[in-house]
Amino acid sequence: MAALRSVFPIFLLVPLDLGDEGRDNRSPQLECKLKKAAYTFLRVLILLIAAAALGLLVNWIRSGGIPLVAGEPYEIYKDCPEISKEASAVKMEHLDADLSAFSVIDSRPVNDFLTAHVPGARSLPYDPIRPMDKELMAELRALGPNRLLVYGDNEIDSGRLMAGELSSAGLLGVRYIEGGFTAWIEAGRPTESGGQR
Amino acid sequence: MSARTGNVLCGISLPVRVALGIVFIAAAWYKIAEPHEFGLSIASYKILPLGFVNIMAITLPWMEIVVGLSLIAGLWTRAGALVICGMLVMFMIAIGVALSRDLPISCGCFASAEAGEEISAATLWRDGIWLAGAAYVLFVDDGRFGLDGWRSRKQRTG
């Protein structure tokens, strides 16, 4: 027990009577410090156990709770999409001023979207190695053909990639703005900032 | 350490521990609201076995909330700071491992708005600065400007 107490201060909380031969010769000051350390470790345990219990309880009660053990692996990555069908590119000069007939999708990172975007656009950041949400695909499909206009950034042309993936997934008449948001800006078209994702 | 020096050191620690508490509570918010998303973030580090991912996603945010409140209130201050040090070391190891494997993942530390930002050396530096703050609180702050201090004063006078 003496060895345990020296390695794990929490055992200082266990009463110990070693007799004269094995008397603990630590100074009262050290004893006091070790006792404080032991109480700190005990409190750490209490904090962690209480928090874990609270988390489990809330997860059990709430409607959107998750199972304690995941039933199937999380879909973290996927192979880069096979773009079997290219979407149609639209040059800025051929794009109408009124885009109300389209559901405009901004495929850039959300921070870029918040800084500035095409008025009325919806932010759906595109990540080629993450699978597109099934519910989202169903929602876009429900819009009907020739309704989707995607734009991204100029460098990696995420608009073209996303539009291609949507087309390959069977959505009809998906278009993307050639040159992405850079082309939109260069054409002097209006922008807006902020807004919901 | 004289009482005056102790007051100064704990006075410096007070804003540090309150800031840390706010950061940890803010970080827990989205993880509690979106447990599946947070589970996905944990899984994307590819460190934990699948069987532990959801347990971690369920309990970790509440640990952040509890220790965040502990630091803000100055109740069991050192225990709270010790847990935060442990969590930050764990986060830094996870981020370091992910960086060494070149995993293109987001940190999963805060709101989903950050989801587009990949982890980087800057993420490690940020956690390192917080770790330094938490270590300062752990070794210096005896909670005298908080409920710990109030309790011990009450015990002495009562």
Cα A120 to Cα A192: distance, rounded to the nearest angstrom: 8
From CA B130, how far away is CA A126, in angstroms rounded? 32
Query: Which pLDDT tens digit goes with each residue over B52-96?
Result: 999 999 999 999 999 999 999 999 999 999 999 999 999 999 999
The chain-wide mean pLDDT, for chain A, equals 80
For residue A8, the model assigns a pLDDT of: 58
- The whole-model pTM stands at 0.62
At A142 the pLDDT is 82
Q: How many helices (H) and strands (E) does chain A have?
A: 6, 5
Kindly report the number of other CB atoms within 10 A of residue A183's CB atom.
19
Query: How far is A145 from A160, CA to CA, in rounded Å?
Result: 17
pLDDT digits (tens, 9 = 90+) for B100-149: 988 878 888 876 544 556 788 999 999 999 999 999 999 998 888 999 98
Residues on chain A touching B135 (C-beta within 8 angstroms): none
Does the ipTM surpass 0.95? no
With contacts defined as CB-CB under 8 Å, which chain A residues touch B59? Answer: 51-52, 55-56
User: Is the pLDDT score of A83 beyond 70?
Assistant: no
- State how many domains chain B has: 1
Least confident of A62-71, A153-162, A185-194, B141-150: A153-162
pLDDT tens digits, one per residue of A109-158: 888 899 999 998 999 888 877 777 778 888 888 887 778 899 998 767 78
Of A43, A51, A66, the CB nearest to B36: A66
Instruction: Give the residue numbers in A contacting B (CB under 8 Å), as ranges.
Output: 40-41, 43-44, 46-48, 50-52, 54-56, 58-59, 64-70, 73-76, 109-111, 114, 125, 127, 129, 197
Distance between CA atoms of residues B83 and A173, nearest Å:
54
What is the pLDDT at residue B40?
A: 86
CB atoms within 10 A of CB A50: 13
Contact B35 A66 (CB under 8 A): yes
Residues 6 or more apart whose CB falls under 8 angstroms from that of A104 comprise A118, A120, A121, A122, A149, A150, A151
pLDDT digits (tens, 9 = 90+) for A89-99: 888 888 888 88
How far apart CA B47 and CA A10 sit, in angstroms, is 30
Q: For the residues A72-86, what does the mean pLDDT come to?
A: 63
Domain that holds residue B71: 3-157
Report CA torsion sign: A52, A53, A56, A59: negative
pLDDT band for position A171 (50/70/90)?
Answer: confident
CB contact under 8 A, A74 and B40: yes
